[in-house]
Every structure is written in C-alpha cells, then in structure tokens.
Amino acid sequence: MSEFTQSGELTIEQLAAEVGMSVRNIRAHQSRGLLDPPEVRGRTGYYGPQHVDRLRLIRDMQADGLNLAAISKLVGTGGEEFAGFRRALATPFETAGAQIMDGPEVRAALGGAVSEEVIDRAQKLGLFRPLGDDRFEVTSPRLLRAAEEITAIGLPHEVGLDVLEKLDRHAQSIAKIFVELFLEEIWKPFQKAGMPPEDWARVRDALERLRPLAGESLLGMFEPAMSEAVERAADRVADKLGRDARRS
C-alpha cells in the first residue's frame, strides 16, 4: 500500500515516489503552472489526491506524445475536462468483465488440440492476451463466443479463424469511418474554436454516444444485408437443384 493511501497527504519526496517522477520534474511542473502549490505547514509542503491525479495526467499525456507546451494549454483550458475526455477514450467498447483462462481452457475454446500457431492467430485477432504462466485474459468475450460457435457448428478452427480475420479487416474499416466522423465533425471544429472549457462536456458526450451509435448502425445495416444474402444463396441452390433434376 502506498504512503498516500495510508496518510492522505504526501511530502514532495513521497509524491515523487507515488507518481514515478523525480522531485526536480515536479518542481518544474509547478513553476510552469501545471501543478497547484502544496499546503505549507511549518516549512513542509503537503500534497493531496488532486496533485497525484494531475501529475498522472501529465505523465500520461507526455506518454501520448504531447510536449509540455501543449499540456499546459490543455490543462489551462480545462484539465479536469480533458481528463474525463481521456478516460472516455480509454473506456473499452465491450463492458463485459475480464475473464481469465488457462492454456487447456483456451485450447478447448478453440476446438480442442490446437497448435501454438492457432493460439498466436487468436491472440492477434484480440481473443486473448497472455498473462504468463500459461494464463490468458479474454479480451473480448463476445468474440470468443463467436469463435466457439464457429467450431460448434462443425467448422475446423483454422476456417473459423480465417472467417474472423476477414471480419476483422472489415471491422477496422468501419471503425475508421466513425472515428473520422468524430474527428472531422466534432473534434476539429472544437479545436479550431480554441477548445473552450464550456464545450468539453458536449465533445465528451458526443464521443460516448458514438460508441453505441456505431454498434446499432452496423447491426441495423447488417440484419437486412444478411437476409438478402441468404435469400440470394437459397435461390442459387434451388436453381442448381432444379437444373440437376431436369438432367436426371
């Protein structure tokens, strides 16, 4: 347990250890106005949860490639709003809880005795994430259920993965359409306007609405498309059966 969670306040040395920064960097962030001053009692400054959150936000923004000038502007135009927006960006699309499986369970889900190559393909598709010690996190329970159903109807697991790889390519294209829609119609006008603090909530709301909108739109278009494809396939099968019957 960290010293912060035990005491509720930190000296600058404890703060540095908590957030993984040097004392020098923390002082530099304070001098730039990126971090509020501590509460001073006697000759010691004490930092609280808001300082920890701000420094972690700065650290994450730097990891995303933003320089301190850009971070200063973002923090100055609504640091908390940007933090909320960033959390919305990082929220997984699928809300199902994490599921942990061991190696034999993974192989069973993929259809039984499978090679390491098949497991590698499944990982690249996003079905599993290795945790070490022959343990895996199911990163998309919905996608895993689809893989299990494909093998359950009698298709070889290699064929099932081929199908999922094709779907993945189409899904990437569809996701790009919605992301570009958000960037072009919501984010860029907001950025051009100087990212006014009062508009952060609207931008974050648009992003949150985009997630279910993408899923509902895709499902709404897929259902009639699937029905039409099945009907066309049934007509082709019926025509072929009719021709074969006339020849016999």
Measured distance CA(144)–CA(105) in Å, rounded: 12
pLDDT tens digits, one per residue of 6-17: 556 899 999 999
Residue 99: strand pairing partners:
138
Laid out side by side, the sheet with 128-132 consists of 99-102, 135-138, 128-132
> 3-class SS at 131?
strand
pLDDT tens digits, one per residue of 211-236: 888 889 988 998 999 899 999 999 89
pLDDT higher than threshold 50 for residue 5: no
Instruction: Specify whether the CB–CB gap between 202 and 81 falls below 8 A.
Output: no
Of the listed ranges 16-20, 81-85, 188-192, 213-217, the least confidently predicted one is 81-85
Q: Give me 202's structure tokens.
A: 């609207």
**Quick one: CA dihedral 187, 192, 193, 198, positive or negative?**
positive
**pLDDT band per the 50, 70, 90 thresholds, residue 27:** very high
Measured distance CA(141)–CA(139) in Å, rounded: 6
Mean pLDDT of 189-197: 85
Mean pLDDT of 81-86: 66
165: Cβ contacts below 8 Å, ≥ 6 apart: 121, 125
**pLDDT band per the 50, 70, 90 thresholds, residue 92:** low
**Quick one: CA dihedral 234, 235, 240, 242, positive or negative?**
positive
- Of the two residues 62 and 52, the one the predictor is more confident about is 52
Q: What are phi and psi of 77, to 5 degrees?
A: -100, 15
Residue 128: strand pairing partners:
138
Domains in the chain: boundaries: 3-76, 99-247
Identify residue 127 by its one-letter amino acid code.
L
What is the model's pLDDT at position 1?
Answer: 43
Indicate the helix (H) or strand (E) that contains 28. helix 23-31
Give the helix ranges, DSSP H, for 64-112: 68-76, 79-90, 103-109
- Of the two residues 36 and 160, the one the predictor is more confident about is 36
143: Cβ contacts below 8 Å, ≥ 6 apart: 125, 126, 127, 164
Query: By C-alpha distance, which of 89, 94, 181 is closest to 137?
Result: 94
What is the model's pLDDT at position 142?
Answer: 80
Q: Supply the mean pLDDT for the chain.
A: 83
pLDDT higher than threshold 90 for residue 118: no
Q: Does 3-76 carry CATH code 1.10.1660.10?
A: yes
> 3-class SS at 216?
helix
Measured distance CA(162)–CA(156) in Å, rounded: 10
Measured distance CA(29)–CA(33) in Å, rounded: 6
Q: DSSP letter for 45, please.
A: E
